[in-house]
Amino acid sequence: MALVAVAWILPYQLGGYAIHVVNIALVFALLAIGLGLAMGIAGQINLAQVAFFGVSAYATAILTTNNGLGFWPAAALAMLAAALIGLLVGVPALRMQSHYLGIVTLGLALGFINWTTNAEVAGGAEGISAIPVPPMFGIDLASEYLYYYLEVVVFAAALAFGLFVVRTSLGRRLQAMRDDPLAAGAVGAEIPLLRMTAFLLSSVYGGVAGVLYVRLIRYVAPDTFNIGNMFLLLAMVVIGGRQSLVGCVVGAIGLTLVREQLVDYPTYAQLGFGVVVVLMVVFAEFQVSVESHPRGQGADLPPLGVLAAAAQVAYEVAHQRPVAYVLGGDAIGGHERVHRFVLLAVHRHPGGPAPPVVRLAFT
Amino acid sequence: MGLVNFAHADVLMIGAYAASTFYMSTELPFAVAMVLAIAVTGLIGLIIERVLRPLENKDVTLMLIGTIGFGMVLQAVAILIWGATGRAVASPVKSAPLDFFGLRIRTYDLVVLAIAALAVVLLVWFLQRTKRGAAMQAVAMDHEAATAVGIHVGRSNAIAFAIGAGLAALAGGLVGPLLYVSPAMGGALGIKGFAAAMLGGCGNIPGAIVGGLAIGVLDSYAAGHFQGYSEVVVFLVFTVIIMIKPTGLFGEMTVSRA
């Protein structure tokens, strides 16, 4: 409930640019959920997620500017288009997996960018601008603050649906397919159908994100959907935790915020992301446990630290596959206080195969 | 090796930058610049392998993501060192184009062909005729069996990575004068390279050659007939072919079948 309250009053706390950043973060969070469903839950390498994003964005743009359709019809058709493309991209998944599927999906994504750069109807390299935002239920959606509420509602619904899917038997079958396709098939899971479903889910989320994004930015161009952004999305999902949808959201929002902080140093940001991704991947077997020094309890803990600690506890409690957080150093608290958290120990459970345990203390 | 290295394209880019830097800034002869660039990128390949070694043969998806991360790092490093705008590299062979049965062929293109052919021959000789090469193939086929007969898998993979990186540098350095050298040059080149490898059959050297030629010819043909849409055509054709025969035209040594 606290989250709902925070989400409700957030716009009142933030300035114009900040709310824009939050809106972008929510869009990326949607994309991350979609990618997390395909890659983390179903184990399908889907490097075409930006293309699904782009298909829906471009479809909305073209339908509203070229064909004069309204918000709802255009959005519905755009999501349908994204879903169809998702099924098309999913077809190669029936024949190959793993990095081969990655190459094929990446190639198709590149093909999509190539098409948008060239097609007349898509506006070529300059894209389509001045996309209208019609009012919805009398609310003027051109205001970023009001648009935020629309996004939050859609995002909450999407996240809830995603979490719901993971819990149903469909979700279990997808996870079984991820863990061992042969065994899953042997106990009766329809592997081809499940693979298509994974891509369909992913593309629907991409479609929703595309529609929201186009209405937000009111401009669409090929460069937004390039491979660099695809890898950034991948980094969000990996850093947040592939197999947990909430983790994907945290990764998406976190990376978007960090990227905004580093907007003057985009290259260093990219360097940082790459390094963190490599570290995450290499240390993915580590398990983190957090203990806080008694003095550091409650209000003294920095908000970021609290978030991090909560995330670790949640991961541990839920017994997800351990996600790497290589932490250490200082966290700046809300009142510019510097809190130290110290890497207490890295030790292995005696008897080998269990992953090492990292212990942290906040002081 | 059983791995697709998504950082390969960016390694190629680093190789191109290194070669062009050695060639243009320090006025070294082109051949020496190339060798130096290959050495430097080979080192980068070794570093990548060493960092990702804990993941080898355990979780391919994680390793793949790791290489993507490395690719991002390499791109960022390239921008930091050499700036975001690219550079044009002068062709090292300064002679007029040859006239060959009515086709005009740049001399440099022939040089590139010759060097590429030589590199392939050397690679094949290494893999087929030397102990280390055979060891590498053994690791790719079955790494546990390879360990059982005493091959150090980590070291073998390290050499594989280094050779791969070196070849990427060779490609990058050679292609520098042909294409613009920029931090993003890896992208499309890399994907087409992977596509070529897959088309011919992974782990299959003659297949890779045929695949490379096929993609190259397809690319040029599509560029001629479809102008800007060439990439869409290439990737669609590639997708269709690879779906008909996922093991590639010549069959593969290791592939993750559906």
Please state the rounded mean pLDDT for residues A291-300.
36
Gyration radius of chain B's alpha carbons: 19
Structure tokens at B21: 């830097």
Instruction: Please state the length of chain B.
Output: 258
pTM for this predicted structure: 0.75
Phi, psi of A329 (to 5 degrees): 110, -140
DSSP letter for each residue of chain B: -----TTHHHHHHHHHHHHHIIIIIS---HHHHHHHHHHHHHHHHHHHHHHHGGGTTT-HHHHHHHHHHHHHHHHHHHHHHH-SS-B----S--SPPEEETTEEE-HHHHHHHHHHHHHHHHHHHHHHHSHHHHHHHHHHH-HHHHHHTT--HHHHHHHHHHHHHHHHHHHHHHHTTTS-B-TTTHHHHHHHHHHHHHHH-TT-HHHHHHHHHHHHHHHHHHHHHHGGGHHHHHHHHHHHHHHH-TT-TT--SS--B-
Single-letter residue type at B144: E
> Which is higher by pLDDT, A205 or B96?
A205
Please state the rounded mean pLDDT for residues A75-89.
90
- A43 at B interface, C-beta within 8 A: yes
Single-letter residue type at B214: A
Nearest to A235 by CA among B150, B75, B58: B75
pLDDT > 90? residue A204: yes
State the pLDDT at residue A356. Answer: 45
| Chain A neighbors of B3, CB-CB under 8 A | 99
A356, A340 Cβ separation under 8 angstroms:
no
B186, B13 Cβ separation under 8 angstroms:
yes
| Chain B neighbors of A194, CB-CB under 8 A | none
Structure tokens at A17: 């640019």
Phi, psi of A356 (to 5 degrees): -65, 155
The rounded distance, in Å, linking the Cα atoms of B11 and B75 is: 9
Residue-averaged pLDDT of chain B: 78
Please state the rounded mean pLDDT for residues B224-253.
77
- A184 at B interface, C-beta within 8 A: no
pLDDT > 50? residue A325: no
The percent of residues in chain A predicted with pLDDT above 70, rounded, is 71
- Supply the ipTM of this predicted assembly: 0.78
CA A303, A307, A255, B55 dihedral sign is positive
Tokens 């395909």 locate to: A38
State the pLDDT at residue A34. Answer: 92
Question: Could you tell me which residues are beta bridge partners of residue A219?
Answer: A129
Note whether B51 contacts A45, CB cutoff 8 Å.
no
State the pLDDT at residue B157. Answer: 82
A311, B102 Cβ separation under 8 angstroms:
no
pLDDT > 70? residue B194: yes
pLDDT grade for A83, boundaries at 50, 70 and 90:
very high
pLDDT > 80? residue A12: no
pLDDT > 70? residue B244: yes
| Chain A neighbors of B80, CB-CB under 8 A | 267-268, 271
State the pLDDT at residue A357. Answer: 47
DSSP letter for each residue of A280-302: HHHTTT-EEEEEE-GGG-GGGS-
Angle value at C-alpha A16, between A12 and A20, nearest 5 degrees: 100
pLDDT > 80? residue A247: yes
The rounded distance, in Å, linking the Cα atoms of A53 and A43 is: 20
pLDDT > 60? residue A77: yes
Ramachandran category for residue B127: left, alpha or beta (phi over 0 → left; psi -120 to 50 → alpha)? alpha
- A98 at B interface, C-beta within 8 A: yes
CB atoms within 10 A of CB A31: 28
The rounded distance, in Å, linking the Cα atoms of A318 and A163 is: 14
What dihedral angle (degrees, nearest 10) is formed by the CA atoms of A229, A232, A238, A241? -90
Please state the rounded mean pLDDT for residues A197-222.
88
Least confident among A94-108, A317-331, B21-35, B49-63: A317-331
Phi, psi of A326 (to 5 degrees): -90, 100
What angle in degrees, to the nearest 10, is found between the helix axes of A245-261 and A144-167? 150
The rounded distance, in Å, linking the Cα atoms of A193 and A199 is: 10
- The distance of B205 to chain A (nearest Cα, Å) reads 17
State the pLDDT at residue A350. Answer: 42
Note whether B188 contacts A110, CB cutoff 8 Å.
yes
| Chain B neighbors of A96, CB-CB under 8 A | 242, 246, 255-258
pLDDT grade for A316, boundaries at 50, 70 and 90:
very low
From B50, which residue of chain A is nearest by alpha-carbon distance? A282
State the pLDDT at residue A29. Answer: 92
Structure tokens at A349: 């459970």
Single-letter residue type at A197: T
Least confident among A115-129, A333-347, B85-99: A333-347
Please state the rounded mean pLDDT for residues A44-54.
90
Which helix (DSSP H) or strand (DSSP E) does residue A58 occupy? helix A49-65
State the pLDDT at residue A351. Answer: 40
pLDDT > 90? residue B7: no
Least confident among A83-92, A258-267, B156-165: A258-267
